[in-house]
Structures are given as structure tokens and as C-alpha cells.
Amino acid sequence: MLNHASHEPDPRDGRRPFVDRFLAVREQSEQLAARLMPEDQVVQSMPDCSPAKWHLAHVTWFFETFLLVPHQVGYRPVHPQFAYLFNSYYIAAGDRYPRAQRGLLTRPTVAEVDAYRRQVSAAMVDLLESADDARWSALAPLVETGINHEQQHQELLLMDILNLFSRNPLRPAFAPRRPAPPTPAGPPAWITFEGGIRSIGHDGAGFAYDNEGPRHDALLRPFRLASRPVDNGEWQDFIDDGGYQRPELWLSDGWATVEAEGWRAPLYWERMDAGWSSMTLSGLHPVERSAPVCHVSHYEADAFARWAGQRLPTEAEWEVASHACATDGNFLDSGLLRPVAGMEDGSTPAQMFGDVWEWTGTPYGPYPGYRPPSGAIGEYNGKFMANQMVLRGGCCVTPDGHIRRSYRNFFYPHQRWAFAGVRLAEDA
């Protein structure tokens, strides 16, 4: 008679999907970088951007600094100077290399950053697989934040590469252009939403950043929202009607920026003999009239809304309206790497998720009762709650699974290198 030993299931086996997701996100960053030459990864096109190599090292520093150093017994940082080179804005974590000079860092090399990533990823897997239940409970929220942080930098990496490639007369392509089904755009429909007291903010299910809560009540007046984002054809009408030469359409700071920067069209647009073309992650191509307009600042979005006789939605209006549709759309995994025209039936808002981030008319600030987390990790969002504007919905280079209805992105009103567009609203 055979004696079969019984084995109790190891509760740590349930961590495997979490560990696998950590590794999958790390691998996705490396797959994006694999499309670049080493020379592409070192250069910084403007102070707002960072070299691709820096992004890859910074997200690795995040795991090393906030997880491995305090939680892995005996762990020593891979290099004592990496904390200085690859810290971004965490003052409590120590001194930082000047942001505008990151393109001067020819060392460590791309190969050394790759090795750094491999060492930290291996140490992270060891930490997660060996932690007892009590330590796991403390680690899991930090790892979740680190995973989402790396996904944010995947989007930033692509934003920064597009800006870099746009400055190259060779017009290099990050990836081949994938065709999208032609979808002619008609005039947008207007969808009415009732007013009243509505709850917005994260509802507590799943991961969210601290700035997405607390959930709270917002008082809304009845409003209407356009069924789709503003498209390139409509933006060309704005240009042709002198939109960039009419100061009465612009906020004072916006008009000062138009004059100082010489804006005459969205970022990356170029007027060619055959019409407008735009630099994309697949190189320079004619502007697709029915695709959502992209790479416009909040100043431009606000001016267009005034020209159209409408306004931008508040972020509370945007979130309430988003419940009429699913949180799916044209994200990074589609491989299109550009906004494209979508199908709409006029009964619910289309393309609220994916394609382009949508500017709102709401300044980025704390929700009622907001308290930032303690320590350096509390610097992630809270200290930026001034002088910036909220965007919602994600875009064509946002990693799949990274977006939520309550997700609050934020940029300064003059910035244009994000994949940001416009959806109009009006009072009902």
C-alpha cells in the first residue's frame, strides 16, 4: 500500500499572479525600449522631457528605494550614486540631479541600466516570494504603486520619444504605422445629463492614487456633453477662422504664450504643399481629419471652446458622464500609437477612454478631506496641487488596465507634448 503524504497549500502561491504582473510590466518597458537605438535613449529634447534611459532607471530606483532598501534584509543598492542620478522629485529621499540636464548623463550606459533593471527585478521577486504574510501585507500596496508608477513612465517615455523624434529632420518612426478603419465624423451629438448631488472619486475597489479620493459629493447643474472629442477637421476650421490670431478668444496667459511661442497650430503640425501633416510615433503623416485633435494645451482647448460657443467640462461632469460608457478604448496595446476616429451612436459619449486625454476646466487641487500619505511617497501627487489643470480618460499610449473613471491626470496649462485633446460641454 502506497503512503501518500498530504501537502497543505502554500498561501504564498496566491501571490504568483501579482509577481507575474510585476514582471509583465517590467518587460513591457523593456519591449518599448527595444524599438530604440542606444543613441535614442540618451538624448533629452527639452527640460520637460527625460531620456528613455532615465525613465527605465528611475522606475527601477523607485522599487529599490521604497521596497528593497527598507524591506529586504541585507540588500545594498546596486550603485551608491544611482539614488542621486535617478531620483525625480522626492525631496525626502535625498538630493537629485538637475532635471534639465538629464540628457548629459552618457553614463551609466544603456547596457548598465539594463543590468540594473535585471538585478532589481530579481531582488524584487525574491523579496515578494520570501516575505511572510505580515510583511506581504505591508509590501503589496507599495508594489502596486510601483507597478502603476512604471506604467505612467511607459506613457511618458513615448511622449518624450515623440518630442525627440519630431526635432529630427529625418522624421524617424518609433514603430510602423498601423492602418485604422476609416470612420467619417459627422457633427457631434449633444447628450444631456441631469443635475443634482452626485458622488465622485475612487469608490475603494482596487488600486487608486491618493489624489483620487476621498469619494465625495459634488453638486452639478444640468449639462450637455459632446458625443465625441473635437476632431482635426474642426480644429482646421478654427485655424482657418483665425483662431490663433484672435486675442478675444484667449485667456490672458494663453495669449501671452501664443505670442511668445508663435503658436499657429497644434504641436507637431506642419503645413505642407498638400495640406497639414503631423509628426507621429510612426513618422510624419497627413493629418487625419476625422481623428481627435491631439497635442493641444489647456489654453488652446479653452480658446477653441470659446470659439465654438461652448466650454470645457468640469472634472465632476466628466466623471459622472463617463458612467454611461465602459472603460475601454484605444490604448497602448492596440498598437495604433495615435488617436483615431471612433464609432458613435449619439446616445452615449464615445471615446471617453483612450485616444486622447481630455482637458477639463477644473484646476488640479485636493478633494475635500484629502490628506497625502506620510513620508517620501506622500510627495507623489499632493505637492503638485497648484497651477495645473485636470485631464481625464487616458490616451492611445496609456497602458491597458491602467485607467479608471476616477483617474486624475494633470499638466500645466501651457504644456502640449502630452496626448491631450478636447471634448466640449455646455449648460443644459
Q: What Å distances lie between residue 203 and 26, 186, 217, 404, CA to CA?
A: 28, 36, 12, 11
- Residue 119 has what pLDDT? 98
Residue 174 included in any domain: no
- Residue 24 has what pLDDT? 98
- Residue 3 has what pLDDT? 36
Phi/psi at 14 (5° precision): -70, -10
SS (H, E, C) 61-107: HHHHHHHHHHHCCCCCCCCCCHHHHHCCCCHHHCCCCCHHHHHHCCC
> Alpha-carbon distance 143 to 63, whole Å?
8
Same domain, 296 and 257: yes
Residue 153 included in any domain: yes
* Nearest partner of 322 among 366, 352, 293, 298, judged by Cα: 352
Same domain, 228 and 322: yes
Same domain, 90 and 27: yes
Domain CATH code at residue 316: 3.90.1580.10
Residue in the structure block whose three cell numbers are 456633453: 225
Same domain, 134 and 199: no
Phi/psi at 359 (5° precision): -65, 140
Same domain, 162 and 200: no
Residue 115: domain span: 11-166
Q: How long a stretch of residues is the chain?
A: 428
Digit-coded pLDDT (tens) for 10-66: 556 678 999 999 999 999 999 999 999 999 999 999 999 999 999 999 999 999 999
Cell of 152: 505612467
Crossing angle (nearest 10°) for helices 16-33 and 52-63: 160
Low-confidence ranges of the chain (pLDDT < 70): 1-13
Residue 176 included in any domain: no
Residue 1 included in any domain: no
Same domain, 203 and 157: no
Same domain, 92 and 228: no
Same domain, 111 and 40: yes
- DSSP 8-state class, residue 311: B
Largest Cα–Cα distance of the chain, in whole Å? 93
- Residue 5 has what pLDDT? 39
- Residue 11 has what pLDDT? 52
Residue 89 included in any domain: yes
Residue 105 included in any domain: yes
Query: Hey, is 132 helix, strand or coil?
Result: coil
Residue in the structure block whose three cell numbers are 468640469: 314
Same domain, 156 and 201: no
> Alpha-carbon distance 117 to 5, whole Å?
41
Where is the domain boundary, 166, 201, 224? Answer: 166
Residue in the structure block whose three cell numbers are 477639463: 360
> Alpha-carbon distance 341 to 291, whole Å?
4
Identify whether the C-beta of residue 51 lies closer than 8 Å to the C-beta of residue 42: yes
- The total of structural domains in the chain comes to 2
Same domain, 135 and 232: no
Angle, alpha carbons 100-106-112 (nearest 5°): 120
Same domain, 152 and 206: no
Query: Hey, is 366 helix, strand or coil?
Result: coil
Residue 179 included in any domain: no
Residue 213 included in any domain: yes
> Across the chain, what does the average pLDDT equal?
94
- Residue 319 has what pLDDT? 98
Domain CATH code at residue 122: 1.20.120
Same domain, 119 and 217: no
First to last CA, the chain: 80
> Alpha-carbon distance 27 to 425, whole Å?
40
